[in-house]
Chains A and B, each alone.
Chain A
Amino acid sequence: MTGEQIIFILTALFTLGSGFMVVTSRNLIHAALWLVSALFGVAVTYALLSAAFLAVVQVVVYIGAIAILFIFAVMLTRKDMRDQGPQMNSNWWFGALLSVLVFVGLFFLLQGWNGLSRTASEIPAGFDAISELGDALISPDAYVLPFEVASVLLVAALIGAVYVAAFNRK
Chain B
Amino acid sequence: MGILTGWGMPEIAAQILIGFLGIFVLVALLMVLDIFLVWVERKVVARFQDRIGPNRLGPWGLIQPFADIIKLIIKEDTTPGGADKVVYNIAPMLSMMSVLILWAVVPLAPRIIGVEDLNIGALYIIAAGAIGTLSIIMAGWSSNNKFALIGAFRQVAVMVSFEIPMLTMLLIPTIFAESMGLNAIIEAQDIWFVWLAPVAAVIFLIAAIAELGRAPFDMAEGESELVAGFNTEYSGMKFGMFYAGELLHAFTFGGFMAILFFGGYRFFGLEQVSAFLAIAIIVFKAFIGYWIIMWVKYTLLRIRIDHMLGFNWKFLTPLAFVLLMVTALMNALLAGYRDGSSTMWIYVLGMFLSNVAVGWIALEVARAYSRRERQKVEGAKKVATT
Contacts and interface: CB of A to CB of B under 8 A. Distances in A.
Contact of B129 (A57, A64, A71, A130): A64
B352 to A, nearest CB: 26
Contacts of A63: 130-131, 134
Interface in A19-37: 29-30, 33, 36
Interface stretch (B54-62, B137-145, B237-245, B294-302): B137-145
Contacts, number: 60
B118 interface: yes
Contact of B123 (A53, A68, A75, A128): A53
B160 A56 contact: no
Nearest to B132: A64
A36 B134 CA distance: 9
Contact of B160 (A29, A68, A129): A68
B163 A130 contact: no
Contacts of B131: 59, 63-64
A164 B120 CA distance: 36
A56 B123 contact: yes
A68 B156 contact: yes
A65 B160 contact: yes
Contact of A56 (B120, B134, B153, B163): B120
A64 B134 contact: yes
Given A64-B163, A67-B134, A56 B124 contact: yes
A137 interface: no
Interface string B111-126: 0000000111001101
Contacts of B119: 52, 128-130
Contacts of B138: 33
B133 interface: yes
A64 B180 CA distance: 20
Interface in A61-91: 63-65, 67-68, 71-72, 75, 81
A63 B120 CA distance: 18
B127 A68 contact: no
The binding surface of chain B is classed by DSSP as helix
B180 A130 contact: yes
A82 to B, nearest CB: 9
A60 interface: yes
A42 B47 CA distance: 48
A67 B153 CA distance: 14
B87 A33 contact: yes
A3 interface: yes
B180 A60 contact: no
Contacts of B82: 81
Interface in B1-43: 12
A64 B137 contact: no
Most buried by B among A56, A128, A130: A56
B123 A60 contact: yes
Contacts of A30: 84, 87
11 contacts: A29-B84, A52-B119, A56-B123, A57-B123, A59-B130, A60-B123, A63-B134, A67-B134, A68-B133, A71-B137, A72-B153
Interface of B: 12, 82, 84, 87, 118-120, 123-124, 126-127, 129-131, 133-134, 137-138, 141, 144, 149, 153, 156, 160, 163, 179-180
Q: Which 3 A-B pairs have the closest CB atoms?
A: A64-B130, A59-B127, A56-B123
